[in-house]
Structure 1
């Protein structure tokens, strides 16, 4: 008898991603149709909503905009046994569905949270080096970030408390809580992310900014203050 595949909900926060969202939706449709698609929109005015609806996604309007707020709202609407969180500017490889399916069918998989391997495009030597550093951090420190995606069982998501309604670092906030109750494991499958963030200030400067933000957060600086400083820069 063929084993039934547990249901999967893909949750994507979106804000004015009309150029990149169609590419991710195409990747998802090519991989498998056996998933629910939830897009949490923070007030797009560029056509993203129409694109999302044409894909057959369950679209919810979330106000005010904020990735943590949108992810939490999307998760509340998701009906799948498993949740897959992706950023709207991500791209999936052709093998993504097969790899996800193998995890979903593993009896032990629900005890862990899973993440993709970061790949930044267009690629440069510095970006390849950054991706290797991210892989080491994710494996040894158990700290993958949101641009690596996150796959986990609904039960584990609920136990962790889920995404908090915070203005910044919602991914690290959740991962820190997850790491106390579960292991975070690599899918050994790439997730391609758009390099626009690094285009603006370069790999080294961007990495230094992220390091300083995390250090200040650990020192007790409020996320509201960090968000104001981050977006001002």
Structure 2
């Protein structure tokens, strides 16, 4: 039985979901180390909600036009801990993540941290692309959401949380957090599913991702960027 109210940790994990029933059991190990794991469901049509409740996770339902940012904000608002960790349902944290997170945020100069990235089934090309992504994250201090952001709840509130937009909410959060302090990418890795790279292929997926970022910098609205992304 997993307890979601342990008093030994100051971390709340927040997981946005949409039809992630098959991935939820993988979160049990992480849930056992933290004060609570909150699943915020965006309208799943599979058994996500029932499975999450059966595993002892807290469950909130949040549907609307605010996208994943709305889900994450909802989970953060209800979190009881001083540290928030935003985790994708298809991503597994390193075994000592709670110690790593708290040690990183013990530095008052750090406003937001993230892990380096690893994929569960990557060939040579995909592993090369991931290595470049990790290099970008460390050198430019721009991690992406699949690297599992963590930050103090106090800082999260002061920067206004996630923008409730259809896409790029993670990118916008990092930009806002940079104004409060340093962005730290830890060398330890989270392991995420390669399913989105497999669907379109590593090169095409990377090219589309870069077009989205370029469009953002050129002032294209998140709504139009999301429409472009969904059509690929």
Same fold (TM over 0.5): yes
Partner of 1:8: 11
The question of whether the paired residues in 1 share the 8 Å contact of 2:9 and 2:35 is answered with no
- TM superposition shift of 1:72: 1.2
Q: Give the aligned length.
A: 225
- TM superposition shift of 1:175: 0.7
Partner of 1:55: 55
Partner of 1:74: 75
Deviations 1:55-111 (A, max 9, x none): 22221110127211111111111121000000111012323233234345x3x2574
Q: 1:180 to 1:21 in 2, by over 3 A?
A: same
The question of whether the paired residues in 2 share the 8 Å contact of 1:116 and 1:149 is answered with yes
Structure 2 matches for 1:188-203, cutoff 5 A? 188-203=187-202
Partner of 1:204: 203
- TM superposition shift of 1:5: 5.8
Please, which runs of 5 or more residues in structure 2 have no aligned partner?
A: 1-6
Structure 1 stretches of 4+ moved >3 Å: 101-104
> What TM-score does the superposition give when structure 1 sets the normalisation length?
0.90
- TM superposition shift of 1:130: 1.5
Cα distance in 1, alignment partners of residues 36 and 93 from structure 2 = 16
Partner of 1:229: 228
Partner of 2:29: 27
Structure 2 matches for 1:1-233, cutoff 5 A? 7-23=10-26, 25-29=27-31, 32=33, 34-64=34-64, 66-103=67-104, 106=106, 108-109=107-108, 111-233=110-232
> What TM-score does the superposition give when structure 2 sets the normalisation length?
0.91
